Chain A
Amino acid sequence: MPARRLPTRSWAHAGATVLLLAASASAHAQALQVGTLRIESTPSAAEVELIGGKAGVTPLTVSERDIYPNSYPDTRAALYGTVTLRHAGCDPLRHRVTLDDLKQDLHLRLDCVAATTTPAPPPTTPAATPAAATAATRVPPAPPSTMPQRRLRQLQVLQELLDEGLISPAEEQRVRRKILQLSIGTDD
């Protein structure tokens, strides 16, 4: 039995509806704006390093996939999921990116008090334990004589971040506990 031809009207109707759906989907997609992270720092113009290498200077917007590439060399596994900031006169800062960071801009404050231009620690962690698993904030160790001031400064920065709404109270509490525990351990 020969196939009956479909009326042209139906094709036009289907085509128009598909176009409408496509336009709608496109609009939805643009509205969602997922998959980017804006990185700001104090001081600004800090060099940003991701697992793929140097990405630019702050303020900078990178894609989520720049932070979580689908593949990477084992030698750089320690940098997976992290943002490392460097600025002349400040300690390098490495930060593990979380879901909370992706929901809002990431604002990192570099420690420039009595800082040297020490380079960031090299990525020597084994491939099986990429940096995405490590602590959210890694502050390089400071000389023993400046430790109490360093902790105090860190707590002040933490409070500022909380006040500015850049971190949640739960995060603030978690990091505060870590700083205090570290401080107690050092004091002992």
Chain B
Amino acid sequence: MKRIIPQPLPSRNDAHAGLPPRSLQGELTPGRLIRSILRSVPLLLLGAWLALLPTQSASAMPEFARRYNLSCAACHSAFPRLNKFGEVFIKNNMRLPNWMETADQLGDDRLALPDHVPLAIRAQAYVQARQGKAIDPVSGARQSATTDFQSPYLLKLLSSAPLSKDITYYFYAIMAEKGGNGEIVVEDAWFRHANLFGSGIGMMLGQFSLSDAMFPREIRLPFQDYMVYRMAGITYDRGVQFDRDVGPFGITLGFTNGNGITDNFKINGTGYSRPDRMFDNDNSKTTFAHVGTDIGPVAVGLFGASGKQRGAAGPAGMDKSRRNTDKRVAGLDASGDVGADAHWYAQYLWNSWNGFLDADPTRNYRWNGGFAGLDWIPNERWAFSALYNYAGAGDFARTNTIYEGIAINSLSLTASHYFMRNVKGIVEVNIDFLNKTKPTGPYFTGHLSSENYILFGFDTAF
């Protein structure tokens, strides 16, 4: 990969240098955190109460449920988590064999227009009390909000439909994600052919997340992310992915541009701009592969990726280098069930970013991390989740760059209450086990503030 910027790390734009340091306000003690939460309780309760009322008559259901006249329970053990049939459905190109019956009957067997525009919406709104701060790595200016209404946190418009015997498309666009009002971001957007040249090989072309070959982030139950995927920069990219089952093994092989999903460049080699754009700006492509199999009751997989990424330069490593540097990722994943109601999963990733920092381009930076989680779904009303995230900064420690912030050690505990199959309220507590550190140099990098939080909110799809 050519350029991977771990998204959770603060960027220069996050800072407001003109604001006074928030350290003047003093540290947030656990007592203050609790009080701030309790001060919000009446509002939270009012919100919860209001949100409960309309669900009595709600009959919303996502697009696939509408298309196939099936309950959400057919594919989800607890929205958005998939059950076994849901996974089969995804593997089957998100179609059931009777998909043609769901198309408009136009008397043309070469035309399968969906009988309605296949749209669905996912929406999330939260209120959060947290200790984490936004800290400018250069000036040290701090911004913090112990309570934060994160509403809407996400508005997502999704669409998918089978278009032919073998081809399905899927895309979604996010509006106002995480407060980014005025932006629309397209993440997953691909066509998939289920049986290329009759070979049994599936091919996906478009934008997708490399990490989906292991544990798709969008179907997790906790609010907290699978952080190591973001830190390793193996989320969204543009490329092609092939998959096929070979005996007991499920094999995925893919190639991506390696520069994410936002770059595009004018083509003006003749000295006059052409209307087309380049999405990639060099010949290096990232190659990735995943091999999965079942060993008894445990599903295990091996992941590997190799490519180029732009190095880091400038103050605290916040700027993109002009150099392409080598990047390798290796991973091991495992998952399984505990009885009928509980499911566990675990991921380990090893990363080698060679010559990544312009400050010392001869040095190779290795770090590793992972996560482990347990979902317990005792009944149709409740789901409980625990997610442990860990990553060590490894060779980035004491580099006085923002990459010291790769370090994480936290446990997120989540309770989800399902008012309806597609409407849930969640409460999540994140416990940060890392001690706060002091800057290792002139820049304000490292684990400078604790990341404990408690969050309430709603998550729905219809």
Q: State in angstroms the CA–CA spacing of A3 and B381 once bound together.
A: 37
Interface-located stretch among A28-36, A87-95, A114-122, A159-167: A28-36
The number of chain A residues touching the other chain, given as a range, is: 35 or more
B41-A81 in contact (CB<8A):
no
A6 interface hit (Cβ, 8 Å): yes
B420-A32 in contact (CB<8A):
yes
Q: Identify the B interface with A (CB < 8 A).
A: 26, 29-32, 34-35, 38, 41-42, 45, 48-49, 52, 55-56, 61, 65, 68-71, 73-74, 77, 83-85, 88, 91-92, 96-98, 337, 340, 377, 380-381, 417, 419-421
Q: Name which residue of chain B comes closest to A71, CB basis.
A: B84
A181 to chain B, nearest CB (A): 12
A68-B73 in contact (CB<8A):
yes
A182 interface hit (Cβ, 8 Å): no
A24-B56 in contact (CB<8A):
no
- Chain B contacts of A129 at CB under 8 A? 92, 97
A104 interface hit (Cβ, 8 Å): no
Please encode chain A, from 130 to 151, with 1 for each CB lying within 8 Å of some chain B CB and 0 for all others: 1011110000000000000000
Q: State in angstroms the CA–CA spacing of A17 and B3 once bound together.
A: 50
A14-B41 in contact (CB<8A):
yes
B380-A64 in contact (CB<8A):
yes
B191 to chain A, nearest CB (A): 21
Q: State in angstroms the CA–CA spacing of A135 and B52 once bound together.
A: 36
Among all A-B residue pairs, the 3 with the closest Cβ atoms: A3-B31, A133-B96, A70-B83
Q: Contact partner of A99 among B31, B65, B96, CB < 8 A?
A: B65
- Chain B contacts of A100 at CB under 8 A? 69
Q: Name which residue of chain A comes closest to B98, CB basis.
A: A133
A71-B83 in contact (CB<8A):
yes
Q: Name which residue of chain A comes closest to B33, CB basis.
A: A3
Residue among A14, A72, A133 with the most chain B CB within 10 A?
A: A133
Contacts A/B (CB < 8 Å), 16 sampled: A3-B31, A18-B45, A21-B48, A24-B52, A25-B419, A28-B419, A29-B381, A32-B56, A34-B380, A65-B73, A70-B77, A71-B83, A77-B88, A81-B74, A99-B70, A99-B71
- Chain A contacts of B337 at CB under 8 A? 71
Q: Name which residue of chain A comes closest to B381, CB basis.
A: A29
A5 to chain B, nearest CB (A): 8
B85-A35 in contact (CB<8A):
no
B69-A98 in contact (CB<8A):
yes
- Chain A contacts of B381 at CB under 8 A? 29
Q: State in angstroms the CA–CA spacing of A180 and B149 once bound together.
A: 59
A127 interface hit (Cβ, 8 Å): yes
Please encode chain A, from 46 to 79, with 1 for each CB lying within 8 Å of some chain B CB and 0 for all others: 0000000000000000011101111110000100
A1 interface hit (Cβ, 8 Å): yes
B98-A4 in contact (CB<8A):
no
B38-A10 in contact (CB<8A):
yes
A184 interface hit (Cβ, 8 Å): no
